[in-house]
Structure 1
């Protein structure tokens, strides 16, 4: 038989379900047969590859959860809602709020199975684009992990300025991890990537929870709120630190539960000589808000109650 006839016979056999080896296609063991769905990355590009010319700048990107160092991923045990699948996609939804030293964006992380969660992405600005003042009041007594970074900070070199900008994100990350583990009402920290902290979005009625300053609780709830604030300040003081900038504007009201946010300026009550003064200011700020709503809240009594012995 010529080669042409052989090719024709092979094609005819395959059309009738018979393979060149004499077996029929339907004789394949079902164990070796499976269905699959091809998965493309966002914008059909590799994780670290460039976007195509027609790709949107704000399109989804692969999660960086497993790209950051172990110490930059949230503490155990992980809440059930945290998505750690390496194939998950992150999509920015827009800005939630602007602040003095950072902006907070909404970010949705979606797993390959369609499960998704919306989180808060807090991104610190560099030193040239921040309006935060008196930072030395909070950073006095604070150290960095590497000696060369400490020297760069002292020289105020370009690298030192970069380290200083990152200090705030690291300080808040450490505080969130520490206090979430201690059971304090703070958002769960998901990951730290450079100067961005990805954390739990505190919600109430399927919307971002309002600040305490925006709510008008009744007398009973007002008293319960004060108990929660007093307990939080006391636990932090027992840990040897003060929030440093606590007020009704950085406490979220999620129904009957209060959650403390904005912790980059956390101060050491022992190492920082400004510590006691900043703790007193925390007490004064929160008590003033409660007093304005009819609750008998004395800042000096609160300070004496919570200050470390």
Structure 2
């Protein structure tokens, strides 16, 4: 299993010279930064790569939007699935928006060699300056610390640079969590790569680009409902054994793909030991989920939230 360091950040320069970028945009109509303010190193590298493409190419094959970013990104865990396109001659084509959210938007993207069907991916892109505070981020960030006091102050003050840092930290945290959980067989999408604040993930849906439905959208029959509850509790136990809780679990961030319950949206994954509020997050996850299943018809003695919290606490080694 690969270990990921949440604190592994490169040095950050104090300023970003916008004038050369402005000239590039005016002459070549190259890409602009996603966010204003000083850029994190990951975002700077991503933007430089896109600007290099703007300088060297006037038109991409098959009407694509960019060359593959595989060679400049952090790859997902091994073994890499056969369906992942790693050829550096591949191109990425934007197909639309799958989901918008407070912290990130998810886009549908096709990656493949020119002239081939390629593979569909979900591109999750974190934003910062549009939102002054990430959703309840103060509690989730407990236990995650950066090495430099300057970055910590910027994040605490929610300066433009600080929000850029938080966006990148969320991306790093989610990629690390997905990599760790996928490696142990948890029901999560395969994390293909991370490039700055963009994650490319396995697309859960059909070949036509229709995304798998959220659990909240379904009205399962009794047998299916019982099976999905069993899958949900098994997933919670897998996370607990790893010493973590989802942190924001509900029927809205569980997908049902080909009969399998899949856990998504994991940037706020909570360390049950390091985070002082870990037990509270775990309890809320369980109660949210148990409440939904009970409301859809499962008996209360089956969904018994307090018993499940106790069992998960024991599984995490905290009982």
Q: TM-score range by the shorter chain?
A: 0.7 to 0.9
- Compute the displacement of 1:133 (Å): 2.9
Confirm or deny: 8 A CA contact 2:102 2:131 kept in the other structure. Answer: no
Q: Which residue of 2 aligns with 1:216?
A: 219
The answer as to 2:181 corresponding to 1:176 is no
Trace 1:107-186 onto structure 2 (pairs within 5 A): 107-112=109-114, 114-129=116-131, 132-144=134-146, 149-150=151-152, 152-153=154-155, 158-186=160-188
Q: 1: distance between equivalents of 2:70 and 2:60?
A: 23
TM-score when normalising by structure 2:
0.75
Confirm or deny: 8 A CA contact 2:214 2:256 kept in the other structure. Answer: yes
Q: Mind listing any 5+ residue stretches in structure 2 that lack a counterpart?
A: 1-50
- Compute the displacement of 1:294 (Å): 1.1
Q: Which residue of 2 aligns with 1:306?
A: 312
The answer as to 2:190 corresponding to 1:188 is yes
- Compute the displacement of 1:149 (Å): 4.0
Distance 1:239 1:158, change over 3 A: same
- Compute the displacement of 1:60 (Å): 2.6
The answer as to 2:77 corresponding to 1:75 is yes
- Compute the displacement of 1:127 (Å): 3.9
Q: 1: distance between equivalents of 2:235 and 2:147?
A: 28
The answer as to 2:240 corresponding to 1:237 is yes
Q: Which residue of 2 aligns with 1:227?
A: 230
- Compute the displacement of 1:59 (Å): 4.0
Q: Which residue of 2 aligns with 1:18?
A: none
- Of 129-138 and 208-217, deviating more is 129-138
- Compute the displacement of 1:47 (Å): 3.5
Q: Which residue of 1 aligns with 2:42?
A: none
Distance 1:156 1:290, change over 3 A: closer
Trace 1:20-99 onto structure 2 (pairs within 5 A): 47-49=53-55, 52=58, 59-68=64-73, 72-99=74-101
- Per-residue CA deviations over 1:33-58 (Å, capped at 9, x if unaligned) read xxxxxxxxxxxx98452664x899x8
RMSD: 2.5
The answer as to 2:293 corresponding to 1:290 is yes
Confirm or deny: 8 A CA contact 1:204 1:254 kept in the other structure. Answer: no
- Per-residue CA deviations over 1:230-268 (Å, capped at 9, x if unaligned) read 011111111111100001100001132010000011111
Q: 2: distance between equivalents of 1:306 and 1:91?
A: 42
Q: Mind listing any 5+ residue stretches in structure 1 that lack a counterpart?
A: 1-44
Distance 1:73 1:55, change over 3 A: closer
Q: 1: distance between equivalents of 2:254 and 2:157?
A: 36
Q: Secondary structure at the match of 2:95?
A: strand
- Compute the displacement of 1:97 (Å): 0.9
- Compute the displacement of 1:205 (Å): 7.7
Distance 1:257 1:146, change over 3 A: farther
- Compute the displacement of 1:168 (Å): 0.8
Q: 2: distance between equivalents of 1:60 and 1:204?
A: 22
Rg (Cα) greater in structure: 1
Distance 1:80 1:130, change over 3 A: farther
Counterpart of 1:267 (choices 270, 275, 294) is 270
Q: 2: distance between equivalents of 1:99 and 1:288?
A: 23
Q: Which residue of 1 aligns with 2:108?
A: 106
